[in-house]
Amino acid sequence: MVFAVVEPQATAVFLLALGSLVALSVLFSRQIDRLGLPIVLLFLVLGMLGGSEGLGGIVFADYGFAVRVGTMYLVLILFDGGLNTPWRAVRPILVPAGILATVGVALTAALLALFGRAIGLDWTEALLLGAVVSSTDAAAVLAVLRGGRLSLQPRVGNTLEVESCINDPMAVILTVTMIQVAKSPDSLRWTLALGVPLQLVIGAAVGLVLGYAGLRLLRRVRLPTVGLYPALTLAIAFVSFGAATVLEGSGLLSVYVTALVLGNSPLPYQSGLTRVHESLAWLSQIALFLMLGLLVFPSQLVAVAGVGLATALFLAFVARPLAVVLCLLPLRFPVRDMGYIGWIGLRGAVPIILGAFPVLAHVPGAERVFNIVFFIVVVSAILPGATIRAVTRRLKLAVPEKPNPSAVLEINAARPLNGEIASFLIEPAAAVCGASLSEIRLPSDAAVMLIVRGNDLVAARGNSVLMPDDHVYVFFRQADRRYVELLFGRTETG
């Protein structure tokens, strides 16, 4: 009887506090974005306020649960990132992003370890700290670049996004290796270096196999309701992570590659699937950073504030920029681009989750390292994070953001169709700007279906004139795409 009375009340109080934190995170996200701060910082702070030493009083100190649930959230975030990354954006920057995600991470870890030792940490703490915070964070970077509506020049923006999505495996490998060395110094052998490329190759291979296998499955299966298709893609994401990890490969890289394959192929109900996974990714970011905020005890951060601040400043001004320059200089990247990529090295969920690994492994000094990592993440969000827009404007790396149409026209089909609908933003330089539809010579199987002008829907008739900033929806066959894009410009949806 005690359980029947007390437990529902405790559960209700917990859900009330959790719901309030999530609602506050969503409602204040726009205000935080206007201040130029990364939104993930808001989630972290609210999590700390809701924790056992905050106003919410939610007691949470289960590192094992945080790692398991946090990994699941990261899978959802990376899967959404891969689904929304066009292959044409990845291909030109795959080499620089790949070098940053491997050599750059290793260089950053080495520089941080040396600095940590120089400021008084023992070698175990210094090596762990360097490994844990060596990679940029996909959740933080995607939240800033996509959620913050920051439009960068393609080469720079795509390099940052792809690097953040594929560099986590290297940090995981380094962290696990450092834990092994801390527990058994004799285990440090040169053969450990072979594990790095091997795990990356296995992860990429498993991701490709499951991506194409999942694509065939989605195209062939006939489910009784549309709502089951996102459940199937979720299953594919989790299987991709689990299979690669069981085979001793990188599960996170596998998830991203699987999503990249799926996102660049025609899928059933593709637009609906994309929206579902975008919503899941945002919910995962909120829940992930709230949970990590709950995991931290603010009173313990005071003792590591000096070391944490010094390390965070060294990471922002020396380690990350130097590693980026050493990686990108041979590729003849402009100094401006290297400086920007070096500065925008946000840390977030992954370092905090990795910081819990040595705690679970009972490595001496692990809790101190975890608190230092959390301090570095917060400072990283404030220092490089709060200056992103100002630096972007100063270096003239922003591109004008195209307005979103007030209405969206799309087709949701259970199987690939021989034709597609795409939207085009009519710019003054477009060949069709100022022309009436009757004057535009479209292919025989193509047609303008709808014009969105501000808040008005304009019927697509022969005397309708296309004006600058109109959003025009055109139906055409895939074989005619190149010709249609010559007339209207690059698609907004493709």
User: What pLDDT is recorded for position 1?
Assistant: 39
Q: Is residue 116 part of a domain?
A: yes
Q: Which amino acid type is present at position 474?
A: V
Mark out the alpha helices in 100-227 (DSSP H runs). Answer: 105-118, 123-132, 138-142, 154-166, 168-183, 192-220
**pLDDT (0 to 100) of residue 176:** 85
Q: Are residues 353 and 276 in the same domain?
A: yes
Same-domain check for residues 247 and 286: yes
For the chain, the domain total comes to 2
CB neighbour class for 197 (10 Å; exposed up to 12, middle 13-18, buried from 19): exposed
- Structural domain range at position 206: 17-394
Check which CATH number belongs to the domain holding 89 and give it: 1.20.1530.20
In a domain, 132, yes or no: yes
Same domain, 52 and 154: yes
Helix axes 168-183, 105-118, angle to 10 degrees: 40
Helix (H) or strand (E) holding 4: helix 2-27
Per the structure block, which two tokens stand in for 402? 């195209």
pLDDT (0 to 100) of residue 2:
41
Instruction: Collapse the DSSP code of 379 into the 3-class scheme (helix H, G, I; strand E, B; otherwise coil) and give the result.
Output: helix
Query: At a CB cut-off of 8 Å and minimum separation 6, what does 235 contact?
Result: none
Structural domain includes residue 142:
yes
Report the half-sphere exposure of 432 (CA within 13 A, side-chain side). Answer: 27
Shared domain for 178 and 319, answered yes or no, is: yes
**253 assigned to some structural domain:** yes
Say if residues 269 and 412 touch (Cβ distance below 8 Å). yes
How far is 156 from 141, CA to CA, in rounded Å? Answer: 13
In the DSSP assignment, the letter for residue 18 is: H
Give dist(CA 108, CA 118) in Å, integer: 15
Domain contains 7: no
The per-residue pLDDT for 5 is 44
Give the containing element (helix H, strand E) for 424. Answer: strand 420-425
CB neighbours of 367 closer than 8 A, spacing ≥ 6?
300, 359
Please give the backbone phi and psi of residue 442, each rounded to the nearest 5 degrees, phi first: -90, 155
Q: Could you tell me the strand order of the sheet in which 471-476 lies?
A: 420-425, 471-476, 447-453, 456-459
What pLDDT does residue 115 have?
96
Domain-embedded: residue 411: no
Q: Could you list the beta-strand ranges (E) of 265-330.
A: none
User: By C-alpha distance, which of 444, 489, 445, 483 is closest to 471?
Assistant: 489
Q: Do 93 and 155 meet the contact criterion of CB atoms below 8 Å apart?
A: yes
The pair of structure tokens assigned to 299 is 């009173």
Structure tokens at 275: 């929206």
* CA separation for the pair 201, 195 (Å, rounded): 10
368 shares its domain with 317: yes
Q: Answer whether 136's CB lies under 8 Å from 345's CB.
A: yes
* Whether residues 315 and 381 fall in one domain: yes
Q: What tokens does 342 get?
A: 């070096």
CB 343 within 8 A of CB 316: yes
Q: Which DSSP string do the residues of 201-235 spell out, in sequence order?
A: HHHHHHHHHHHHHHHHHHHH---SSTTHHHHHHHH
Helix (H, G, I), strand (E, B) or coil at 449: strand
Residue 320 CA to residue 302 CA, distance in Å, equals: 25
Identify the CA nearest to 140 among candidates 386, 397, 394, 310. 386
What is the enclosing helix (H) or strand (E) of 308?
helix 305-314
Residue 373 lies inside a defined structural domain of this protein: yes
Asked whether residue 407 is assigned to any structural domain, the reply reads: no
Verdict on whether the full-model pTM lies above 0.75 = yes
With contact defined as beta carbons under 8 Å apart, do 142 and 161 qualify? Answer: yes
- C-alpha distance from residue 220 to each of 262, 358, 472 (Å): 14, 44, 32
Please, what are the averages of pLDDT over each run of 10 residues along the chain (494 residues)?
Answer: 51 72 72 65 78 74 86 90 84 90 93 94 92 85 68 84 84 86 70 71 94 93 87 95 92 93 88 88 84 82 89 93 94 92 85 88 89 86 78 82 71 73 88 91 90 89 91 90 88 66
Q: Do 157 and 203 lie in a common domain?
A: yes
In angstroms, rounded to a whole number, what is the distance separating the alpha carbons of residues 442 and 63? 60
435 and 319 within one domain: no
Same domain, 29 and 113: yes
CA 34 to chain centre: 20
Radius of gyration in angstroms for the set of CA atoms belonging to the chain, rounded to a whole number: 24
Tokens coding 107 = 């260089």
- Examine the fold and report which residue of 360, 394, 428 is the final residue of a domain before the chain moves on: 394
